[in-house]
Amino acid sequence: MAVSGLIMLAYLVAHVAGNLKVFFGPEEFNGYAHWLRVMGAPVLHHEWGLWIARIALLAAVGAHAVSAYQLSRRDIRARPTRYARKRKGSSYATRTMRWGGIILGLFIVWHILDLTTGTVHPGGFEEGKPYQNVIDTFSTWYGNTIYIVAMLAVGLHVRHGFWSAAQTLGVGNARRERVLRLLANGLALVLTAGFIAVPVGVMTGVVN
């Protein structure tokens, strides 16, 4: 659970950095999208590097989902009766991890169908022109709503998940707890703000 989560976290950091290139205009953003398809060349063929990254990410998502299910079942078997009172110190992010995971799983499917395959894209989806495709998506109220809700869920998930992974992997202790929580909060805030900046940029006309 911890290792697969950190792999996905590394992907999110790289992904938000790439997304923010949209503020530098279509040439920069489309050029970045093209680079993703030729990365590793000439050693790798066209899109091989991208597919290797996709397969690795898919494996991490699958491992994370299976681990979450197994841990949930183990938790239920260990205590079939719920606590009479909620445990003190458990944050909102902690209590909503499962629902957050489900929301993100559904969002991933929608996001791929929207901006990768173009199946549910609201405009005339154009292969190789992600800048215009992004504007099309975030020019609709439902595209903005789905994306922003999902990114808020990402923030909550990262906030608890980063700290929890540190404990699981033995990095955390009483002396480092404050620092780890600050890192978790800061990372969650930066990722959430970075992702949400894109639809806000389109809505305000900064990206057009």
- pLDDT tens-place string over residues 21-32: 999 999 999 999
Supply the Cα-derived Rg of the chain in whole angstroms.
19
Summarize pLDDT for 61-76 with one digit per residue, the tens: 999 989 888 887 887 7
Question: What gap in Å lies between CA 67 and CA 70, rounded to an integer?
Answer: 5
Q: Is 119 exposed, middle or buried (0-12, 13-18, 19+ CB in 10 A)?
A: exposed
Tell me the CA distances in angstroms from 104 to 86, 110, 174, 186, 204, one per residue in order. 25, 10, 31, 20, 26
- pTM here? 0.86
Report the pLDDT value the prediction gives residue 85, as an integer from 0 to 100.
56
C-beta neighbour count of 80 within 10 angstroms? 7
Q: Is the separation of the CB atoms in 9 and 64 below 8 Å?
A: no
Judged against a pLDDT cut of 90, whether residue 58 lies above it is answered with yes
Summarize pLDDT for 87-119 with one digit per residue, the tens: 555 555 556 677 778 888 899 999 999 999 999
Judged against a pLDDT cut of 80, whether residue 78 lies above it is answered with no
For the chain, strand residue ranges (E) read none
Tell me the CA distances in angstroms from 32 to 25, 47, 88, 201, one per residue in order. 11, 13, 46, 18
Tokens coding 184: 């978790």
Report the pLDDT value the prediction gives residue 73, as an integer from 0 to 100.
84
C-beta neighbour count of 182 within 10 angstroms? 11
Summarize pLDDT for 127-140 with one digit per residue, the tens: 889 999 999 999 99
Amino acid at 68: A
Contacts with 105 (C-beta within 8 Å, 6 or more apart), sequence order: 61, 65
Tokens coding 23: 């503020």
Q: Is the separation of the CB atoms in 74 and 110 below 8 Å?
A: no
Question: What gap in Å lies between CA 129 and CA 131, rounded to an integer?
Answer: 6
Summarize pLDDT for 170-199 with one digit per residue, the tens: 776 667 778 888 898 999 999 999 999 999
